[in-house]
Copies of this chain bind each other. A is one copy, B any other.
Amino acid sequence: MASPQPAPQLDESSRRVDTVAIVGGTGALGFGLATRWAHVGIDVRIGSRRPDAAQAAAAHLPGASGGENAAVIDGAPVVVIAVPFSAHVETVRSIAEVMQPGQLLIDTTAPMVPGRRGLRPITLWAGSAAEQAQDLLPVGVSVVSAMQTVSAATLQDLDQVLDEDVLICGDRATDKAVAAALIERIQGLRAVDCGPLDISGVSERITALLVGVNRRYKTHAGIRLTGLPVPQTSSGLGRPA
């Protein structure tokens, strides 16, 4: 492992992040996010356990690079984890060895398993995948959960118009603001502050419900919260001042 670069400082003045590392960036959701972000000029670093796969994926996107997970994390202010739930613990334990205080992890994981009648959420002892990640990461690395309700297929297809909300949970307002600003660089996504990390289990469970709706209605459904006192194209968590 290369010696880490100085840890980035995340505060109000650095809300706008221009570099993001995506652990599991060759997967459906990770590559979908990479696609959208790369096309709005963000420096996307695609991470994988297999550097060659990461580099091959990056070659499809403008300005993106690819490498082993630990390498792409090094110095990135924001790291997104987008791996299947079955790889969550192992992957988090692995990146915990390289993440530095001040880096922010956005966890997109939805804990679920295939049941007889479709994908079903499962209950983690920590309460949610995001809290499980927070438990495993070094002190000073914050976790925000997001993106569990956005279709990977829709993200990957730039011809598809996004028009939905992203539910964000986290314990620090500044972390959520950073994540929201990054997510809202993707046109058509509005970030909604859904509360502390301990409510993330709700967002994470919605994925299984949506997968069932998708199968039933033959679509890629998303979530929109109605009644918010802000435009659906707002930014910065859209809360009243």
A residues near B (Cβ < 8 Å) are: 115, 117-118, 120-121, 123, 151, 154, 163-164, 167, 192-196, 198-199, 201-203, 205-206, 208-210, 212-213, 216-230, 238-240
Given contacts A206-B206, A209-B202, contact A195 B225 (CB under 8 A): no
Measured in the bound complex, the distance between the Cα atoms of B121 and A147 in whole Å is: 21
Assess whether A228 is in contact with B239, with CB atoms less than 8 Å apart.
no
- A84 to nearest B CB, angstroms? 19
Assess whether B213 is in contact with A221, with CB atoms less than 8 Å apart.
no
Contacts of A123 in B (CB 8 A): 123
- A22 to nearest B CB, angstroms? 24
- A171 to nearest B CB, angstroms? 9
Question: Can you name 14 A-B pairs with beta carbons within 8 Å?
Answer: A115-B198, A117-B196, A117-B198, A118-B199, A123-B123, A193-B213, A199-B209, A203-B209, A213-B225, A216-B239, A217-B228, A221-B227, A222-B225, A224-B224
Contacts of A239 in B (CB 8 A): 216-217
Assess whether B120 is in contact with A199, with CB atoms less than 8 Å apart.
yes
- A57 to nearest B CB, angstroms? 26
Assess whether A212 is in contact with B199, with CB atoms less than 8 Å apart.
yes
Contacts of A221 in B (CB 8 A): 225-228
Assess whether B120 is in contact with A198, with CB atoms less than 8 Å apart.
yes
- A126 to nearest B CB, angstroms? 14
